[in-house]
Amino acid sequence: MRVGQVASATDTGRKRRRNEDSLVVRPPLFAVADGMGGAQAGEIASRLAAEALGETGGGATAEEHVAELVQEANRRVYRRSHEDATASGMGTTVTVALVGETDVVLGHVGDSRAYRFRDGKLEQLTADHNLVQELVRDGKLTPEEAEAHPQRSVITRAVGTDPDVDVDVQRIAAEPGDLFLLCSDGLTDMVADADIERIVADSDGDLQGAADELVALANNRGGVDNITVVLFELAGDEAEQTLADVAPPPDEAAVDDDDEDTLTELDAVPVLAGGPPPEAPPRRRRGLYLLGAALLVLLAVAALTAWEYLS
Ligand code: MN
């Protein structure tokens, strides 16, 4: 199945100092990884995993291939955490999608998510490996209790914390026109599925616009965590590939350039309960800012010219 439009966005959010998420956009392979650990370990973990996923691996079937990619990511993160004392105990989520002839194979560990958008409906494909979600599945917590639970970010499975990892692998039947969304919990903790569905539906085929809008909405609602979104569309083989369909250059293993020291910063659990509602300033489009800036520059030039002419 041919990959059509591709879009991605990653953002530090409003509360964290660093972006510990990484992403892979290397059609037909896509992934998000959400790292955790003290100091810069979370960044290292998600980046190592993204690098491992971006390489070719073995496996006779697509399922084996995807499982092996995640296992290799696991080995690399685990090894580094034992070589480097500052990276001890680090780990990362991994949600990876590999597009095949008639389907998409997913590999998944942690609480990042994969969704499929088809016929206007958003469907979550992965199950969170998350303490609170497991309590909900066991009937020990209601979904409402889970939403405000202080330990909602505690994951029960991660890549890199043990010598081996149990990977959820599933094959998803795909059709031309299907849209797949991979994201970190920084999106889904802030933006409900119904809102994601509406934004994707209203994007009118502009996937990058949808990805940017999802990140902006997560930030407007508090942005307590790093936010990462990868969107890709499946096109029919009969469709001619147009210039607009060509994927943008891969934006892999995205990390912040800022190198501030975060010696004792631990991966804080975002607590949403009881806080004041985040202010929601009106969101402006980047284009408007650019237009405003251009007008200001024009005005300044005109004023300077007039001043020089008059004086
Ligand atoms: Mn996160």
Query: What's the whole-model pTM score?
Result: 0.76
Give the range with max mean pLDDT: 149-153, 195-199, 274-278, 285-289: 195-199
Placement of tokens 């934006």 in the chain: 251
Rounded alpha-carbon distances, angstroms, from residue 193 to 50, 206, 232, 295: 26, 19, 18, 39
What integer best gives the mean pLDDT of the chain?
85
Distance 185 CA to ligand 1 centre (A): 5
Distance 49 CA to ligand 1 centre (A): 15
Q: Is the pLDDT of residue 262 over 50?
A: no
Distance 11 CA to ligand 1 centre (A): 11
Distance 247 CA to ligand 1 centre (A): 26
CA 282-285-286 angle, 5° bins: 130
Strands annotated E in 184-265:
227-235
Distance 225 CA to ligand 1 centre (A): 6
Q: Contact, 65 vs 99, CB < 8 A?
A: no
For residue 122, what pLDDT is reported? 98
Query: Average of pLDDT values for 287-294?
Result: 64
Distance 226 CA to ligand 1 centre (A): 6
pLDDT tens by residue, 135-158: 998 999 998 888 888 888 889 999
Distance 5 CA to ligand 1 centre (A): 25
Distance 238 CA to ligand 1 centre (A): 39
- Min mean pLDDT across 2-16, 215-229, 266-280 is at 266-280
Read off the pLDDT band of 275 (50, 70, 90). very low
Query: Average of pLDDT values for 108-136?
Result: 95
Distance 108 CA to ligand 1 centre (A): 15
For residue 257, what pLDDT is reported? 47
Q: Is the pLDDT of residue 104 over 80?
A: yes
Query: Average of pLDDT values for 286-301?
Result: 67
pLDDT tens by residue, 83-103: 998 899 999 999 999 999 999
For residue 50, what pLDDT is reported? 96
Q: Is the pLDDT of residue 253 over 90?
A: no
Distance 120 CA to ligand 1 centre (A): 27
Between CA 4 and CA 235 the distance in angstroms is: 5
Distance 295 CA to ligand 1 centre (A): 39
Distance 30 CA to ligand 1 centre (A): 18
Between CA 54 and CA 73 the distance in angstroms is: 10
Between CA 172 and CA 95 the distance in angstroms is: 14
37: helix, strand or coil = coil
Distance 178 CA to ligand 1 centre (A): 26
Fold (topology level) of 2-245: Phosphatase 2c; domain 1 (3.60.40)
- Per-residue DSSP letters for the chain? -EEEEEEEEEE-TTT-SS--EEEEEETTEEEEEEEE-TTTHHHHHHHHHHHHHTS----SSHHHHHHHHHHHHHHHHHHHHHH-GGGTT-EE-EEEEEE-SSEEEEEEESS-EEEEEETTEEEE-S---BHHHHHHHTTSS-HHHHHT-TTTT-BS--BTSSSS---EEEEEE--TT-EEEEE-HHHHTTS-HHHHHHHHHHTTT-HHHHHHHHHHHHHHTT--S-EEEEEEEEE-TTSPPPGGGSPPPP--S---------TT---PPP--TTPPPPP-PPP--HHHHHHHHHHHHHHHHHHHHHHHHH-
For residue 298, what pLDDT is reported? 73
Read off the pLDDT band of 286 (50, 70, 90). low
Please state the domain extents for the chain: 2-245
Distance 19 CA to ligand 1 centre (A): 9
Distance 136 CA to ligand 1 centre (A): 20
